[in-house]
A and B are shown apart, each in its own frame.
Chain A
Amino acid sequence: MQAHSDAIAMTDAGGDTLSPLVGSMLTPADMSTARDWLMMLKPRVVLLVVYSGLAGLLVAPGHINPVIAFAAMLCIALGAGASGAINMWYDRDIDAVMKRTAKRPIPSGRIAPDDALGYGVFLAVASVIMMGLATNWFAAMLLAGSIFYYVVIYTMWLKRRTPQNIVIGGAAGAFPPLIGWAAVTGSLSVMPWILFGMIFMWTPPHFWSLSLWAHEDYKRAGVPMLPVVAGAKETRRQVMLYTIAMVPFTLLPWYLGYSGPVYGVSAALLGVWFLFDAWRVYTDTQDAIGISLTNDKPAKACFKYSILYLFALFGAVYIDWAVR
Protein backbone atom coordinates (compact mmCIF):
# COMPACT_ATOMS: atom_id res chain seq x y z
CA MET A 1 0.00 0.00 0.00
CA GLN A 2 2.86 2.33 0.89
CA ALA A 3 4.68 1.48 -2.32
CA HIS A 4 1.46 2.10 -4.12
CA SER A 5 1.15 5.61 -2.70
CA ASP A 6 4.79 6.34 -3.41
CA ALA A 7 4.26 5.37 -7.01
CA ILE A 8 1.52 7.97 -7.31
CA ALA A 9 3.77 10.54 -5.68
CA MET A 10 6.54 9.81 -8.18
CA THR A 11 4.16 10.33 -11.03
CA ASP A 12 2.93 13.59 -9.54
CA ALA A 13 6.47 14.86 -9.17
CA GLY A 14 7.77 13.48 -12.42
CA GLY A 15 5.18 15.07 -14.64
CA ASP A 16 5.39 13.22 -17.94
CA THR A 17 6.26 9.74 -16.76
CA LEU A 18 3.50 7.21 -16.83
CA SER A 19 2.51 5.73 -13.51
CA PRO A 20 3.62 2.17 -12.85
CA LEU A 21 0.32 1.71 -11.03
CA VAL A 22 -2.09 -0.87 -12.29
CA GLY A 23 -5.83 -0.40 -12.27
CA SER A 24 -6.69 -3.61 -10.46
CA MET A 25 -4.40 -2.73 -7.52
CA LEU A 26 -6.48 0.30 -6.68
CA THR A 27 -8.51 0.19 -3.51
CA PRO A 28 -11.72 2.15 -2.86
CA ALA A 29 -9.71 4.41 -0.55
CA ASP A 30 -7.69 5.57 -3.57
CA MET A 31 -10.80 6.38 -5.55
CA SER A 32 -12.68 8.34 -2.89
CA THR A 33 -12.80 12.10 -2.86
CA ALA A 34 -13.07 14.40 0.15
CA ARG A 35 -16.67 14.98 -0.91
CA ASP A 36 -17.42 11.25 -0.61
CA TRP A 37 -16.27 11.28 3.01
CA LEU A 38 -18.39 14.33 3.64
CA MET A 39 -21.43 12.68 2.03
CA MET A 40 -20.97 9.70 4.38
CA LEU A 41 -22.10 12.05 7.16
CA LYS A 42 -25.47 12.74 5.45
CA PRO A 43 -24.95 16.53 5.53
CA ARG A 44 -28.59 17.40 4.83
CA VAL A 45 -29.75 15.38 7.82
CA VAL A 46 -26.95 16.92 9.90
CA LEU A 47 -28.18 20.38 8.95
CA LEU A 48 -31.66 19.61 10.28
CA VAL A 49 -30.18 18.03 13.41
CA VAL A 50 -28.02 21.09 14.13
CA TYR A 51 -30.94 23.39 13.45
CA SER A 52 -33.19 21.63 15.97
CA GLY A 53 -30.36 21.16 18.48
CA LEU A 54 -29.65 24.88 18.41
CA ALA A 55 -33.27 25.53 19.43
CA GLY A 56 -32.75 23.50 22.61
CA LEU A 57 -29.50 25.31 23.30
CA LEU A 58 -30.93 28.80 22.76
CA VAL A 59 -34.19 28.51 24.69
CA ALA A 60 -32.55 26.80 27.67
CA PRO A 61 -32.33 29.00 30.76
CA GLY A 62 -28.84 30.08 31.75
CA HIS A 63 -25.73 31.28 29.96
CA ILE A 64 -23.31 29.37 27.77
CA ASN A 65 -20.08 30.77 26.38
CA PRO A 66 -20.32 31.10 22.56
CA VAL A 67 -17.18 28.99 22.06
CA ILE A 68 -18.63 26.21 24.21
CA ALA A 69 -21.97 26.54 22.40
CA PHE A 70 -20.19 26.19 19.07
CA ALA A 71 -18.32 23.13 20.33
CA ALA A 72 -21.60 21.60 21.55
CA MET A 73 -23.24 22.12 18.16
CA LEU A 74 -20.21 20.68 16.41
CA CYS A 75 -20.40 17.59 18.64
CA ILE A 76 -24.10 17.17 17.86
CA ALA A 77 -23.30 17.49 14.14
CA LEU A 78 -20.40 15.01 14.35
CA GLY A 79 -22.46 12.56 16.38
CA ALA A 80 -25.30 12.71 13.86
CA GLY A 81 -22.83 12.39 10.98
CA ALA A 82 -21.16 9.41 12.65
CA SER A 83 -24.56 7.74 13.04
CA GLY A 84 -25.18 8.35 9.34
CA ALA A 85 -21.84 6.79 8.38
CA ILE A 86 -22.46 3.68 10.49
CA ASN A 87 -25.98 3.49 9.08
CA MET A 88 -24.55 3.55 5.54
CA TRP A 89 -22.10 0.81 6.51
CA TYR A 90 -24.86 -1.43 7.89
CA ASP A 91 -27.39 -0.69 5.14
CA ARG A 92 -24.95 -1.01 2.24
CA ASP A 93 -26.79 -4.09 0.91
CA ILE A 94 -30.16 -2.38 0.70
CA ASP A 95 -28.65 0.94 -0.40
CA ALA A 96 -27.27 -0.87 -3.44
CA VAL A 97 -30.73 -1.96 -4.63
CA MET A 98 -32.57 1.28 -3.93
CA LYS A 99 -32.51 3.92 -6.66
CA ARG A 100 -32.43 6.75 -4.12
CA THR A 101 -29.29 5.42 -2.40
CA ALA A 102 -27.44 3.38 -5.05
CA LYS A 103 -24.99 6.20 -5.77
CA ARG A 104 -23.82 6.50 -2.18
CA PRO A 105 -20.05 6.04 -1.73
CA ILE A 106 -20.17 2.45 -0.40
CA PRO A 107 -22.54 0.83 -2.94
CA SER A 108 -20.75 2.62 -5.77
CA GLY A 109 -17.40 1.27 -4.55
CA ARG A 110 -15.64 4.53 -3.72
CA ILE A 111 -15.37 3.81 0.00
CA ALA A 112 -14.73 0.36 1.50
CA PRO A 113 -17.28 -0.82 4.12
CA ASP A 114 -14.60 -1.36 6.79
CA ASP A 115 -13.23 2.15 6.25
CA ALA A 116 -16.75 3.56 6.59
CA LEU A 117 -17.30 1.69 9.86
CA GLY A 118 -13.98 2.86 11.29
CA TYR A 119 -14.74 6.43 10.24
CA GLY A 120 -18.19 6.34 11.86
CA VAL A 121 -17.05 4.74 15.11
CA PHE A 122 -14.11 7.13 15.43
CA LEU A 123 -16.30 10.20 14.93
CA ALA A 124 -18.95 8.85 17.30
CA VAL A 125 -16.45 8.28 20.11
CA ALA A 126 -14.67 11.59 19.43
CA SER A 127 -17.92 13.58 19.43
CA VAL A 128 -19.08 12.10 22.76
CA ILE A 129 -15.71 12.68 24.49
CA MET A 130 -15.47 16.20 23.13
CA MET A 131 -19.04 16.96 24.26
CA GLY A 132 -18.22 15.70 27.77
CA LEU A 133 -15.05 17.76 27.99
CA ALA A 134 -16.49 20.93 26.49
CA THR A 135 -19.92 21.00 28.18
CA ASN A 136 -20.94 18.32 30.67
CA TRP A 137 -21.16 14.51 30.82
CA PHE A 138 -24.95 14.46 30.98
CA ALA A 139 -25.11 16.06 27.52
CA ALA A 140 -22.40 13.63 26.37
CA MET A 141 -24.46 10.71 27.69
CA LEU A 142 -27.51 11.94 25.77
CA LEU A 143 -25.41 12.27 22.62
CA ALA A 144 -24.10 8.72 23.07
CA GLY A 145 -27.68 7.57 23.67
CA SER A 146 -28.88 9.21 20.45
CA ILE A 147 -26.10 7.55 18.43
CA PHE A 148 -26.88 4.16 20.02
CA TYR A 149 -30.60 4.64 19.39
CA TYR A 150 -30.14 5.49 15.71
CA VAL A 151 -27.51 2.85 14.97
CA VAL A 152 -28.66 -0.09 17.08
CA ILE A 153 -32.36 0.42 17.88
CA TYR A 154 -33.39 1.90 14.53
CA THR A 155 -30.88 0.77 11.90
CA MET A 156 -29.96 -2.70 13.15
CA TRP A 157 -33.12 -3.73 14.98
CA LEU A 158 -36.30 -1.98 13.83
CA LYS A 159 -35.76 -0.84 10.27
CA ARG A 160 -35.92 -4.26 8.65
CA ARG A 161 -38.38 -5.83 11.10
CA THR A 162 -41.43 -3.65 11.61
CA PRO A 163 -43.54 -1.14 9.67
CA GLN A 164 -43.48 0.95 12.84
CA ASN A 165 -39.71 1.38 12.26
CA ILE A 166 -39.82 5.10 11.68
CA VAL A 167 -42.36 5.77 14.43
CA ILE A 168 -40.04 4.38 17.10
CA GLY A 169 -36.88 5.23 15.18
CA GLY A 170 -38.10 8.80 14.81
CA ALA A 171 -37.02 9.35 18.39
CA ALA A 172 -33.41 9.17 17.25
CA GLY A 173 -33.85 12.33 15.19
CA ALA A 174 -35.66 14.02 18.06
CA PHE A 175 -32.72 13.92 20.49
CA PRO A 176 -30.87 17.11 19.40
CA PRO A 177 -33.04 19.65 21.30
CA LEU A 178 -32.56 17.54 24.44
CA ILE A 179 -28.79 17.53 23.94
CA GLY A 180 -28.68 21.26 23.20
CA TRP A 181 -30.69 22.03 26.34
CA ALA A 182 -28.57 19.67 28.48
CA ALA A 183 -25.36 21.26 27.17
CA VAL A 184 -26.46 24.54 28.81
CA THR A 185 -28.23 23.35 31.95
CA GLY A 186 -26.78 19.91 32.67
CA SER A 187 -30.35 18.65 33.14
CA LEU A 188 -33.73 18.38 31.34
CA SER A 189 -37.16 19.87 31.91
CA VAL A 190 -40.56 20.00 30.16
CA MET A 191 -39.70 22.33 27.24
CA PRO A 192 -36.93 20.20 25.69
CA TRP A 193 -39.20 17.17 25.92
CA ILE A 194 -41.90 19.11 24.05
CA LEU A 195 -39.36 19.96 21.32
CA PHE A 196 -38.41 16.26 21.29
CA GLY A 197 -42.09 15.31 20.93
CA MET A 198 -42.59 17.74 18.06
CA ILE A 199 -39.88 16.09 15.95
CA PHE A 200 -40.99 12.63 17.09
CA MET A 201 -44.56 13.23 15.90
CA TRP A 202 -43.46 14.97 12.72
CA THR A 203 -41.35 12.03 11.52
CA PRO A 204 -44.14 9.56 10.55
CA PRO A 205 -46.15 11.87 8.25
CA HIS A 206 -42.87 13.16 6.78
CA PHE A 207 -41.45 9.71 6.05
CA TRP A 208 -44.68 8.01 5.06
CA SER A 209 -45.37 10.75 2.51
CA LEU A 210 -42.01 9.87 0.97
CA SER A 211 -42.60 6.13 1.18
CA LEU A 212 -45.95 6.46 -0.62
CA TRP A 213 -44.15 7.14 -3.88
CA ALA A 214 -40.85 5.42 -3.07
CA HIS A 215 -42.45 2.18 -1.87
CA GLU A 216 -41.22 0.19 -4.88
CA ASP A 217 -37.67 0.98 -3.78
CA TYR A 218 -38.37 -0.18 -0.23
CA LYS A 219 -40.20 -3.28 -1.49
CA ARG A 220 -37.22 -4.26 -3.64
CA ALA A 221 -34.90 -3.77 -0.66
CA GLY A 222 -37.18 -5.78 1.64
CA VAL A 223 -37.72 -2.91 4.07
CA PRO A 224 -41.18 -3.25 5.66
CA MET A 225 -42.27 0.34 5.21
CA LEU A 226 -45.94 0.92 5.95
CA PRO A 227 -47.12 1.12 2.29
CA VAL A 228 -45.31 -2.16 1.56
CA VAL A 229 -46.85 -4.00 4.52
CA ALA A 230 -50.22 -2.33 5.13
CA GLY A 231 -50.86 -0.75 1.71
CA ALA A 232 -51.10 2.79 0.43
CA LYS A 233 -54.62 3.35 1.72
CA GLU A 234 -53.67 2.66 5.34
CA THR A 235 -50.53 4.80 4.93
CA ARG A 236 -52.64 7.75 3.78
CA ARG A 237 -54.87 7.30 6.84
CA GLN A 238 -51.83 7.21 9.14
CA VAL A 239 -50.34 10.36 7.57
CA MET A 240 -53.63 12.12 8.30
CA LEU A 241 -53.94 10.77 11.87
CA TYR A 242 -50.37 11.61 12.87
CA THR A 243 -50.72 15.13 11.46
CA ILE A 244 -53.96 15.61 13.42
CA ALA A 245 -52.14 14.53 16.58
CA MET A 246 -49.01 16.57 15.85
CA VAL A 247 -50.49 19.98 15.15
CA PRO A 248 -52.13 20.57 18.59
CA PHE A 249 -48.98 19.17 20.22
CA THR A 250 -46.85 21.86 18.54
CA LEU A 251 -48.99 24.50 20.27
CA LEU A 252 -47.92 23.26 23.72
CA PRO A 253 -44.89 25.60 24.09
CA TRP A 254 -47.25 28.56 23.65
CA TYR A 255 -50.07 27.03 25.75
CA LEU A 256 -47.74 26.25 28.65
CA GLY A 257 -46.10 29.68 28.48
CA TYR A 258 -42.65 28.59 27.27
CA SER A 259 -43.10 30.57 24.04
CA GLY A 260 -44.99 33.73 23.15
CA PRO A 261 -47.67 34.63 20.60
CA VAL A 262 -45.16 34.86 17.73
CA TYR A 263 -44.54 31.17 18.10
CA GLY A 264 -48.18 30.34 18.84
CA VAL A 265 -49.56 32.04 15.73
CA SER A 266 -46.77 30.67 13.52
CA ALA A 267 -47.25 27.10 14.77
CA ALA A 268 -51.02 27.34 14.24
CA LEU A 269 -50.74 28.66 10.67
CA LEU A 270 -47.98 26.23 9.69
CA GLY A 271 -50.00 23.40 11.22
CA VAL A 272 -53.17 24.28 9.31
CA TRP A 273 -51.19 24.12 6.09
CA PHE A 274 -49.73 20.73 7.07
CA LEU A 275 -53.25 19.47 7.84
CA PHE A 276 -54.39 20.65 4.43
CA ASP A 277 -51.49 18.83 2.74
CA ALA A 278 -52.16 15.65 4.74
CA TRP A 279 -55.84 15.86 3.82
CA ARG A 280 -54.87 16.06 0.13
CA VAL A 281 -52.73 12.94 0.59
CA TYR A 282 -55.64 11.18 2.30
CA THR A 283 -58.16 12.14 -0.39
CA ASP A 284 -55.82 11.80 -3.38
CA THR A 285 -57.49 10.27 -6.45
CA GLN A 286 -56.69 6.60 -5.99
CA ASP A 287 -57.68 3.11 -7.02
CA ALA A 288 -59.34 0.51 -4.78
CA ILE A 289 -56.15 -0.31 -2.87
CA GLY A 290 -55.06 3.29 -2.49
CA ILE A 291 -52.53 3.57 -5.31
CA SER A 292 -52.42 7.16 -6.53
CA LEU A 293 -53.80 7.99 -9.94
CA THR A 294 -52.12 11.40 -9.88
CA ASN A 295 -48.54 10.14 -9.74
CA ASP A 296 -48.59 10.85 -5.98
CA LYS A 297 -48.53 14.60 -6.47
CA PRO A 298 -50.13 15.32 -3.05
CA ALA A 299 -47.70 12.96 -1.26
CA LYS A 300 -44.73 14.63 -2.96
CA ALA A 301 -46.07 18.05 -2.03
CA CYS A 302 -46.67 16.93 1.56
CA PHE A 303 -43.13 15.53 1.84
CA LYS A 304 -41.60 18.75 0.53
CA TYR A 305 -43.77 20.87 2.78
CA SER A 306 -42.95 18.73 5.83
CA ILE A 307 -39.28 19.71 5.52
CA LEU A 308 -40.13 23.38 5.15
CA TYR A 309 -42.57 23.00 8.04
CA LEU A 310 -39.96 21.77 10.49
CA PHE A 311 -37.52 24.51 9.49
CA ALA A 312 -40.23 27.15 9.83
CA LEU A 313 -41.55 25.74 13.12
CA PHE A 314 -38.13 25.80 14.76
CA GLY A 315 -37.49 29.15 13.06
CA ALA A 316 -40.55 30.40 14.93
CA VAL A 317 -39.02 29.11 18.17
CA TYR A 318 -35.87 31.15 17.40
CA ILE A 319 -37.73 34.31 16.44
CA ASP A 320 -40.01 34.09 19.45
CA TRP A 321 -36.99 33.62 21.71
CA ALA A 322 -35.24 36.61 20.08
CA VAL A 323 -38.16 39.04 20.44
CA ARG A 324 -39.13 38.07 24.01
Chain B
Amino acid sequence: MMADSLPPLSREESKELGKRRRGRNIAMLIALVAVSALFYAISMVKMSAHIGGAG
Protein backbone atom coordinates (compact mmCIF):
# COMPACT_ATOMS: atom_id res chain seq x y z
CA MET B 1 0.00 0.00 0.00
CA MET B 2 2.66 2.39 1.13
CA ALA B 3 4.72 1.53 -1.93
CA ASP B 4 2.04 3.03 -4.18
CA SER B 5 2.67 6.48 -2.80
CA LEU B 6 6.44 6.31 -3.33
CA PRO B 7 8.19 7.08 -6.61
CA PRO B 8 9.19 4.03 -8.69
CA LEU B 9 12.80 3.51 -9.74
CA SER B 10 13.74 4.83 -13.13
CA ARG B 11 14.81 2.39 -15.84
CA GLU B 12 18.46 3.34 -15.31
CA GLU B 13 18.26 2.78 -11.57
CA SER B 14 16.57 -0.53 -12.10
CA LYS B 15 19.21 -1.56 -14.60
CA GLU B 16 21.97 -0.53 -12.21
CA LEU B 17 20.43 -2.60 -9.41
CA GLY B 18 20.23 -5.64 -11.67
CA LYS B 19 23.86 -5.14 -12.69
CA ARG B 20 25.01 -4.97 -9.08
CA ARG B 21 23.03 -8.05 -8.14
CA ARG B 22 24.47 -9.97 -11.09
CA GLY B 23 27.96 -8.93 -10.02
CA ARG B 24 27.37 -10.19 -6.48
CA ASN B 25 25.93 -13.46 -7.76
CA ILE B 26 28.87 -14.07 -10.08
CA ALA B 27 31.33 -13.33 -7.25
CA MET B 28 29.45 -15.78 -5.01
CA LEU B 29 29.50 -18.43 -7.75
CA ILE B 30 33.24 -18.04 -8.26
CA ALA B 31 33.85 -18.24 -4.49
CA LEU B 32 31.74 -21.39 -4.11
CA VAL B 33 33.36 -23.15 -7.06
CA ALA B 34 36.84 -22.18 -5.83
CA VAL B 35 36.13 -23.41 -2.28
CA SER B 36 34.68 -26.69 -3.59
CA ALA B 37 37.74 -27.24 -5.79
CA LEU B 38 40.04 -26.46 -2.88
CA PHE B 39 38.24 -28.84 -0.53
CA TYR B 40 38.42 -31.54 -3.19
CA ALA B 41 42.17 -30.96 -3.64
CA ILE B 42 42.79 -30.97 0.13
CA SER B 43 40.84 -34.23 0.47
CA MET B 44 42.89 -35.83 -2.31
CA VAL B 45 46.17 -34.76 -0.71
CA LYS B 46 45.09 -35.97 2.74
CA MET B 47 43.81 -39.30 1.42
CA SER B 48 46.91 -39.97 -0.67
CA ALA B 49 49.08 -39.15 2.37
CA HIS B 50 47.14 -41.72 4.40
CA ILE B 51 47.38 -44.32 1.65
CA GLY B 52 51.11 -43.60 1.29
CA GLY B 53 51.57 -43.87 5.06
CA ALA B 54 49.67 -47.17 5.19
CA GLY B 55 51.72 -48.62 2.36
Contact = CB atoms under 8 A, between A and B. Distances in A.
Interface stretch (A20-28, A184-192, A231-239): A20-28
B11 A8 contact: no
A19 B8 contact: yes
A185 B17 CA distance: 48
Contacts of A18: 8-11, 14
Interface residues of A, number: 30
B41 A31 contact: no
Overall SS of chain B's interface: helix
A70 B16 CA distance: 36
A22 B9 contact: yes
A71 interface: yes
Contacts of A20: 3, 8
Interface string B2-21: 01001111110111011011
Interface string A36-70: 01100000000000000000000000000101101
A5 B17 CA distance: 10
A67 B13 CA distance: 44
Contacts of A67: 38, 41-42, 44-45
A71 B42 CA distance: 8
Contact of B21 (A30, A35, A70): A30
Contacts of A8: 14, 17-18, 21
Nearest to B49: A65
B38 A23 contact: no
A295 interface: no
A244 interface: no
A223 B26 CA distance: 38
Interface of B: 3, 6-11, 13-15, 17-18, 20-21, 23-24, 26-27, 38, 41-42, 44-45, 49
19 contacts: A8-B17, A12-B18, A18-B9, A18-B10, A18-B11, A19-B14, A21-B9, A21-B14, A22-B3, A25-B3, A30-B21, A32-B20, A33-B20, A34-B24, A34-B26, A67-B45, A70-B38, A71-B38, A74-B38
Given A22-B6, A133-B42, A134-B42, 5 more contacts: A12-B18, A16-B11, A18-B9, A20-B3, A71-B38
